[in-house]
Structure 1
C-alpha cells in the first residue's frame, strides 16, 4: 500500500476490524469525500501498503473505512444528504445498484430487501455492527427501522468483511448511528399526503470526557389512498352472465319443472305440456291443488302404476330381505350409514328413486304406514310438490338470493375505485448514545402500531375476483387486524490498543414484543360446520411473540508484519422466543387431532457461534496488489419446545416436546485488488457461503408453518438444512473527466450459484413447511456513475439480474427431479437516476426517477395447457416512478423542503397480467396496492 507523505497507514488498515474513521488517520488531502455518490464510487480505489502503527484516536462506532479498504463491493448512503425529503430506509436503499426493495404489504408496511437475486432471508441487517435479524422472523422488516439518527448505511454485496458475524448469501446492510460530537440542537417537522405527519428532535452535547446524543422521532399516516380495482372491472362480464343465468332460471322455473317431472314422476301428453308451458298460471294451480286433478295425485298414480312392475313383493320385510340378498344393505352400511338411515331409506323408496324402479308397491303401503306412519309416504310427495311451487320452493328462493348477491357484486365491480382500508401506521423511536475515545453506550426504544391491510386477492390469486369488495366493507372472518410492536436495545462497547494489537469487546441486549389482535371478527355469516377450522386455527384472533437476545463479541486487528494485517472476530448470541395466542391451549378430541391447535410450539431457543478471520496482504512494494483471504466457522443450534396437547400417534407425530438441530460449516472468501493508476482499479472476489437458518424456517411459527416432516405421515423429524452457495464478482472502478464533469464510475459483473434453497410449500390441508427444494443461479451487471459539475450533479445506478431457479417437490417424501420455475419478485432490470441543480447557495432543485422492470409473482411455470409459461408466472408490469422537490435555506440554520413523490401517480396503477382458468385475460392488482402521488413539506431548524 502507498505511503502518504512518509507516513505508514497501519491505522487505516486496522480500521477494517476496529471501527475508526479514515479521516482521523489521513491528511486532509486524502480524506474520504463527504458526498455520498462520490464516496460510493470510491469504494475501493485507494490502496495502502506499509502497515505500521501511528498515534490515533479510536472511535467506538464503525467508521467510513469501507469506501477505501473493503475488498468487496460496498456502497455508502448518507441520510443527511437527503434531509427534508422524508425518505425511509427502503427509499434510501433504492439508490443502491444490485438492491431490490419489496414493499410486501404496501408503503409503510412490511418491507424486505434482496440483493443480486437473493431471497430476503439471505440478507443480513446489522445496526452498529450487531445483527438485527431475530430468529423468529424469516427476514427483517425494513419499515420498522428508523434512519433519522443514522450517519450512514453501508451496503455490501459479494465479499462480506469479517467484522460481520455470520454468512449471508445475498449481502449485508450495516446501519451506523451518528456519533455525538459538537453541541447541537435540531428540530424537524413535516406534513404529507394521506394524513402523513412527522417530527424529530436531536440534541448533542459534551458529557464528561465524551459526548451525548439524544434523538426522538415520530411518524404516522392514515394511509387511505385511492386505487382502481382491475379485478373487479374484469369480473363485470362474468357477473352479468351469472345474473342473467339465475334470472333465466326464475323466468323459466315452471317450464323447466314441467320438463323435469314429465316422464319421471308424472306422465303428460304433448298437448298438456304445450298448454301448461303457454299457461304457467294453470300449471301453478295444478301444482298447488289437492285432490284428483293435482300434481300430488298424478305423482302418486304414476308411482303406483310403476310399482306394479314389481311382483312377489307382498310386504315391507320381503322387500328388505330382497335388498339384503342383493347386497344393497351392506353397501349402504359400508358407505357409513346406520340402521336408522337404512330403514328410513327403504321406507322412502316407494317411488323407486334409490334402490330400483318401484320395489315398494302400493299393496304394502299399509305395512309401511304401520311402521313409519302415513307422513313418510305423503311427505315424499309433498317434498316434490314444494320443490316446484314458485311460492315456497327452496330452489327459486336460492335463485332470487343469488340474483341479489350478484347484483351487489355488480355494483361493487362497476364502482371499481377503492380507498385502501387498514393501511395506517404510527411509529416512534428514541436513541440515547454516549461516546468517547474508548467507550460507547447506546440505548434505543422503538414503538410501532399499525393495522395490517387485507389482501385484494383474498389470499389467492383466483380469489382476486371474488374478493373485489375488499376495501369497501369487511369480507374476511378476521378483519381490522392490528399489530403493536416494541423494540428495546442496550449496547456497551470498549476498544483498546496494545502494541501491534487493536481489539475491542461488545455486549448487546435486544428485546422485542410483537402483539397481534383481530379487532373485528365477523360472526353474522359464520357457519360452525364449514368454518370450524377457520374459527379454531391458532393465533388467528390474537398472538404475542416475545424475544430476548443476548450477544457478546470480541474483534480486532493484529499487525503480523509491515505487509500483513490480520482481522478476527469471535461472536456468540443466545435468543429465546416465547409465543402465546388464541386457541394454543385448546383441548381437542382425537377425532380433531388434525387441527394445528393441538400442535402449537410455545418456545424456541437459537444459539449462534461465529469465528471469523481475515488477512490483508500487500503483494508488491508499490502497494498496487492486495490479496484478502478469509475463513469463517459458523454454527447454529435451534431448539423448539412444545407443551401443547399432543397425540403420540397423531397426524403430526413428528412434533415432539423438544426438537433440536445443530448445523455448522467452514467457508472461505478471497479478494484480489489491483490499482493500475490513479484512474483505474480492478477488483475480484469469490468464495463460498453457508446460510444458517432462523427459527421460523426450522421450527415453524407454531401455526400455519410447521416443522418439515419426512413425509405427510410424519415418520421422521427431518428439518431443513442450511442454504449453500458460491459467488464471484469482478469490478472496474474508474475516475476521469467526462462531459466536462468529474466522473466516478463502477461496473461490476457478478455470478452466484446456490443449492438447498428454501421454499415454503403446502404439506397438508391447512399447514405449510419449508423444504430445501430449490436451487438457482444468478448473473448480472451493476453500474454506478456519478457526474459533478459546478451547479449540477447527476447520479445513475443500473442493475441487470438474470436469475434461473429450479425446484424439486420433496414434500411427502417425493423427489420428482428439478424442473425450471420462475424466480419471483426479482426484476431483470432496475435503475435509479437523480439530478440535482444548485442555482445558488440557498436553493437546490432535484428530480429522480426509479424504473422497475416487470417481475414474476408466481413460481409455477406452466408447460402446456391454456396458460402459457409466461402468464403462469403472473408478471407485474414494469413501473416508473418520478419524484421532484425544492430545498430552500433562507438562513444557514433554516431549511424548507417541498416535494412530490410519484408525480405521475403510477404506484396505484401497478398491474399484474393474468390468465386464470375461467377468467378473461387482462390485468389484476398486486396483492397489496401501493399509494401513489404524495405531496410533502418539511421545515428544519438547527440551533
Structure 2
C-alpha cells in the first residue's frame, strides 16, 4: 500500500512517540482521582467529570442526549456519518459517494435546523444551508454528543431539530498512536497523534488523512427492466414482431430502427467520485488555558446524478466521460452532452480557538475567542462554454470571529434545593464574499449581479439556565432555560439587493425551555421536556448564489424577506439501567417526541432557478428507542431505532409552475427526506481475554419519500420514494503484543447499497394503433382511427436507481500501533538517561510538516525568440489594432493580454483559468548528523520534501493568416510547471542554550519539476524542448529546535527555496502538408523565412517560502 504524504509523515510522528492502548478500553471509568460528584459547568470541565459513560450521558444535558465514541470502532474505516447512524433520531443524508456532501436530520428536522459544534464552538456557517459533516475527521475525536429536544444553555442558539457536539481529544502525557488502512475502491486512511508535555501543559499534534476513488460498480436498474419489456403490438407493428424500448419498426421506411442507447452496458462503474481529506490538529492545554488550531483540506469530485426518465443513461460511461468524449464525430455525438463532466470542489478551512477558565470557590468563569476561515472553490473543468455566472468557477470565502463568555455558580450544594446557575453570552461577526467566472458582462462591461458579492451579519445570544435539584423529592431535577438572540443583517436593499428597501434586523427574539428528570429507585429514570425554538434564515437562503438560487422577491420586484422559523418541541420518556442476572447488565431509554415548526423554510425550484420560501407549518412526531446489553467481558449488544411521521398542518411546498402540492394531494402532505423507520444493531463478541473482538452490525433505513403528487383523475396519492435499505457489516479486531492492533472486515456484506431502488420517478409509455396505416393511406379510408378502442397506450412503472447510488460491498484492513511513555525509557540512550539531554552530537532522523507558498507571478508574460538564437523579445504580429479615432496602434497578436493566475480554460480571457496551487501543505523526511563543540553546533542534513505546487502563465492571441491577412479564431497558450518534490543537502550551524537550539542552514536542492504546454491553436505545430524534470537550485533559512522528552525534539523552521527553471521552451512551427503561416513564422529568422518561434516564460526562477514544524529522533 502506498501511503500519502501526510500518512508517511504521521508514521514518522508515531515512531517518535508513546501512547495509551490503541483499542478502546473495556473499562469505562474515568482516570483515578476524577469525580462526577458535581454536574459539569463549562465545556472544558465536562471532559473529566464522569466515572462511567452512562453517568456522563446523564449529566451532559437536562434533556435527551446520546454519546458515541470513535475509538470503539477504530480501524473500521468509519467516518462521522457512520457513527451518527448508530444514534436514534438521527438520519444522515448522503449526496454522492464516500466523502461526498453529507448533512444530518434530527427527529425529522431539515439539516439546516441542526446545529453542529466542535468543542462547543459553532461549526455552521451562514453561507451554507446546512453543515457538511463529511468534512469533519474523527481520528482525533474523543466523543460525539447528540442532543435531541432540549439543548443545554452552554451551546449558543435554539436549534429546531437538535445539536451535535464533537469533542476533540485533550493532550495527555507522553504518548502517541499511528494507524494505516486500505479498503476497496481505492480507499486509504492514515492517522497519527503525538502527546507530550510543553511549557507547563500538554501539547497534542494530530494528523488525519483519507482518500478514496469511489469507482464501485452498480447496475442501471431501469434499463435492465426495460430490456425485458415487449409491447403488445406485434399484430399491428408492421413486421409481425413486437416493438420494444430498444427496437421500433418504422412502417413507412419498412425498416426496424434500433435505439442507439441500448447498445451500452447496463453495468456501470462510478466516475468522478473521488475525494481527499487531510486534517492537522494542534492543541495545547494547561490548568486554565486551552489553545487549538485546526486545518482541513478537502478535494472532491461531484459525480453525475443517475437519472434518465426513459430508463437508459449515458452516466458513468467511459466513452462519454470528459475529456475523452468526442462531441463532434459519430452518430452518437449529440448524446454526449452534458454527461460525466469533472466537477470539482476544493475547500480550505482554518479554525482557531483560545479558551480561559478559572474557578473561584463556587464560581467558575470562562472566556473563549474563536475564528473560522473557509474558502470553497468550485471548478467545472469540462464545460465547453460557460453558460452563466459561476457555471465554470465559483469562489466562496467566509470568515467568522466569535467571543463567548460563560459563568456558572453552585448554590446550596448541601441544601434541600441545590442550584446550578449558568450564564452563556456569545457574539459572532460573519462575512461571506463571493466571486465567479462571467461576472463581467461583455456587452456593457459592467459587473453582473452585484447584490450577491459580499454579505455581513452579526448574531448575539444570551442564555441562562438554572438546574434545580430537589433533595426532598428524591433528587428531582428541573432545569428551566431562557434565551434571547438578535440578528443584525443580512440587509436587503441599496448596494446589496436591487429589489427594494432594506430589511432584516430581526430584533431580540426570546425562546425558552424546561426539562425535568427523576430517578425512581436505583434503576429507573423518568424524563420530559418542553421548549420553544428559533432559527434565522442564512445567507444562502436569503440571497441565493446568483446562479441557481435567487434572492427572494415577488413578481413585481418587491422584496420578499424570509421569516425566521420558529416552533415548539416536547418529549417524554423513561429509562432503565441495572443488572438483569449475574454479570448480565443492561440499559434502555424510550422517548416520545412531538415538534411543530411554523414558517418552515423550503426550496421552490423552477427550470430557470429557484428561491427559498416560507412554506407553512409542519408537525413531526415519533418515538426513539436505544438499549444496550453487556454480558461480562464476553459480549455486548447495542440497539437503536426510530419511528417518525412528518406532515404539513397548513401551508404547502411548491412545484413549478407555482403549483401548491398541498392542494393537489388526496391525503396528508408529507414532509420529505425523512424515513419513517430506521434501526441499527451491533453485536460485539470478545475472546482470548478481550484480545480478539468480532462484531456484526445491521443498519436499516425504511422507505424514504422524495416527492408526492396526484395525477389527473387519480383518487390516491402517488409518491417518489427510495425503497428500504438493509446492510450488514462484519469484522474483527485483534490486539497483539507491543501495542499493535489489526482490524479487518467487510461493510455491506451482501452488496445491497448499489442495488437500492427508487420508485415513482421513471415510467415507460408506448402508444400504438390497431389500424393498418399503409392500407388507410392507400384506400383513403381512415374510419378505423375514429374508434377510440383502436388507440392503445401501454404504461410501465419502472424502478430506477437512487439519484446517487451507495457504495456496496467494501473490504478493509487496518493496522495500528500505540506507544506509551514507558516505551521511551526502554530505548533512550545512556547519555539521555543520565540526564545529558542538552547535547546535540549524533545522528538523527525525523520529518516535517508545514506549508509552502510559491511566488505569485501575476504579471508574468510569455516571451518570444523569433530568430531562435536565444534572445527573447519583440512581439508576434497578428490582427491590427486601432484606437477610437481609427488611428493604427500596432499588430501585437498578444494584445488581449497575459495572466499569471493559471492555465487558460478557453481561447479568450473571459473563459477564465484553472487556478494554480500557489500554496499548500507539504511534508518531508530528513536524516542528519550534528557535532556540538561547547555551545556551538555544526552539522549536515539531507532531506526529501514534497511540495506539490503548480504555477502557470497564459497568453491570449489574435493571429492572422499571413498569406490572406484574414483573422484567425482567438487562441490561448499556457505554460504550467508542477513542483513535485526535492532532494536537498544542507549545512547548518547554530547555538545551543538549555536544550534549545537556534540555527541557520543553507545548501543545494535537486527538484522534480514537471512541465506542460497547452493551447487551443490547432493551426500551428508545437514542439517542446528541455522538458527534463530535474532542476537545480539553492536553499537557505533558519529555525529553532527544542528537546522535549528523551530522544525527541520538536522545532520550527523557515526555508526559502530558489529553483532555476528557465530552459523549458516550445517552438511554434507549421503543421500539415498545406501549412498556414502565422506571426509565429514571420520574418527573416533561423534557416529561412518561415522558421519556428521559440516561446518560454518570462520568469526563469521559481521561489518557494516554507514554514515547517519539525520532529526528530536522536540516536
Tell me the equivalent position of 2:272: 422
**1:410 equivalent among 244, 258, 262:** 262
Tell me the equivalent position of 1:933: 809
Worse-superposed segment, 163-172 or 472-481: 472-481
Tell me the equivalent position of 1:456: 306
**2:291 equivalent among 434, 441, 450:** 441
Determine if contact 1:655/1:707 at 8 Å carries over to the other structure.
Answer: no
CA distance in 2, matches of 1:842, 1:669: 46
Tell me the equivalent position of 1:898: 744
Summarize the alignment of residues 63-74 of structure 1 with structure 2, pairs less than 5 Å apart: 65-74=56-65
2:682 matches 1:837:
no
Report SS of the residue matched to 2:41.
Answer: coil
Tell me the equivalent position of 1:632: 483
Worse-superposed segment, 816-825 or 627-636: 816-825
Tell me the equivalent position of 1:49: none
2:671 matches 1:823:
yes
2:373 matches 1:486:
no
Tell me the equivalent position of 1:683: 527
2:646 matches 1:798:
no
**1:92 equivalent among 70, 83, 99:** 83
CA distance in 2, matches of 1:837, 1:14: 34
CA distance in 2, matches of 1:873, 1:842: 50
CA distance in 1, matches of 2:246, 2:35: 80
2:20 matches 1:168:
no
2:189 matches 1:198:
yes
Determine if contact 1:516/1:542 at 8 Å carries over to the other structure.
Answer: yes
2:759 matches 1:909:
no
Determine if contact 1:588/1:598 at 8 Å carries over to the other structure.
Answer: no
* Residue 731 (structure 1) shift: 1.9
Tell me the equivalent position of 1:251: 254
2:574 matches 1:732:
yes
Tell me the equivalent position of 1:654: 499
Cα-to-partner distance string for 1:188-220 (whole Å, 9 max, x where unaligned):
000100011121110000012110000111110
Report SS of the residue matched to 1:250.
Answer: coil
* Residue 917 (structure 1) shift: 5.4
* Residue 801 (structure 1) shift: 0.9
Determine if contact 1:98/1:799 at 8 Å carries over to the other structure.
Answer: yes
Determine if contact 1:491/1:508 at 8 Å carries over to the other structure.
Answer: yes
* Residue 467 (structure 1) shift: 5.2
CA distance in 2, matches of 1:206, 1:815: 63
Relative to structure 1, the CA distance from residue 598 to residue 442 in structure 2 (aligned partners, 3 Å threshold; closer, same or farther) is closer
Determine if contact 1:162/1:612 at 8 Å carries over to the other structure.
Answer: yes
2:694 matches 1:851:
no
Gaps of 5+ in 2: 1-33, 232-242, 322-335, 766-795, 820-1115
Give TM-score scaled by structure 2 length: 0.61
Tell me the equivalent position of 1:232: 223
**1:570 equivalent among 425, 437, 450:** 425
2:158 matches 1:144:
no
CA distance in 1, matches of 2:184, 2:247: 43
Relative to structure 1, the CA distance from residue 226 to residue 95 in structure 2 (aligned partners, 3 Å threshold; closer, same or farther) is same
CA distance in 2, matches of 1:639, 1:543: 21
**2:177 equivalent among 176, 186, 193:** 186
Tell me the equivalent position of 2:1032: none
Tell me the equivalent position of 2:282: 432
Report SS of the residue matched to 1:160.
Answer: coil
Report SS of the residue matched to 2:687.
Answer: coil
Q: How many aligned residue pairs are there?
A: 717
Determine if contact 1:167/1:692 at 8 Å carries over to the other structure.
Answer: no
Report SS of the residue matched to 2:367.
Answer: strand
CA distance in 1, matches of 2:654, 2:762: 26
2:625 matches 1:783:
yes
Report SS of the residue matched to 1:639.
Answer: coil
Worse-superposed segment, 915-924 or 88-97: 915-924
**1:611 equivalent among 462, 476, 481:** 462
Cα-to-partner distance string for 1:811-834 (whole Å, 9 max, x where unaligned):
999989877423222111111111
Relative to structure 1, the CA distance from residue 471 to residue 610 in structure 2 (aligned partners, 3 Å threshold; closer, same or farther) is farther
* Residue 600 (structure 1) shift: 5.7
Relative to structure 1, the CA distance from residue 814 to residue 896 in structure 2 (aligned partners, 3 Å threshold; closer, same or farther) is closer
Tell me the equivalent position of 1:743: 586
Relative to structure 1, the CA distance from residue 457 to residue 238 in structure 2 (aligned partners, 3 Å threshold; closer, same or farther) is farther
Determine if contact 2:63/2:150 at 8 Å carries over to the other structure.
Answer: yes
Relative to structure 1, the CA distance from residue 622 to residue 194 in structure 2 (aligned partners, 3 Å threshold; closer, same or farther) is same
Determine if contact 1:586/1:598 at 8 Å carries over to the other structure.
Answer: no
Tell me the equivalent position of 1:219: 210
Report SS of the residue matched to 2:674.
Answer: coil
Cα-to-partner distance string for 1:225-262 (whole Å, 9 max, x where unaligned):
0000112224445996576547434338xxxxxxxxxx
Relative to structure 1, the CA distance from residue 519 to residue 816 in structure 2 (aligned partners, 3 Å threshold; closer, same or farther) is closer
Report SS of the residue matched to 2:526.
Answer: strand
Relative to structure 1, the CA distance from residue 419 to residue 917 in structure 2 (aligned partners, 3 Å threshold; closer, same or farther) is closer
Q: Which has more strand, going by share of residues?
A: 2
Summarize the alignment of residues 177-576 of structure 1 with structure 2, pairs less than 5 Å apart: 177-236=168-227, 237=229, 241=244, 244-245=247-248, 247-251=250-254, 403=257, 407-412=259-264, 415-457=265-307, 462=309, 465=312, 473-474=320-321, 475-477=336-338, 479-522=341-384, 535-562=386-413, 563-576=418-431
* Residue 868 (structure 1) shift: 4.8
Tell me the equivalent position of 1:115: 106
CA distance in 2, matches of 1:688, 1:542: 41
**2:436 equivalent among 573, 581, 600:** 581
Determine if contact 2:513/2:532 at 8 Å carries over to the other structure.
Answer: yes
Report SS of the residue matched to 2:542.
Answer: helix
Select the structure with the greater relative contact order (CA < 8 A; seq sep ≥ 6).
1
Gaps of 5+ in 1: 1-8, 25-30, 34-38, 44-64, 253-399, 524-534, 647-651
* Residue 624 (structure 1) shift: 1.9
Determine if contact 1:553/1:572 at 8 Å carries over to the other structure.
Answer: yes
Relative to structure 1, the CA distance from residue 472 to residue 781 in structure 2 (aligned partners, 3 Å threshold; closer, same or farther) is farther
Report SS of the residue matched to 2:569.
Answer: strand
Give TM-score scaled by structure 1 length: 0.72
Determine if contact 1:625/1:675 at 8 Å carries over to the other structure.
Answer: yes
Tell me the equivalent position of 1:700: 544
CA distance in 2, matches of 1:814, 1:890: 64
CA distance in 2, matches of 1:78, 1:23: 15
2:517 matches 1:667:
no
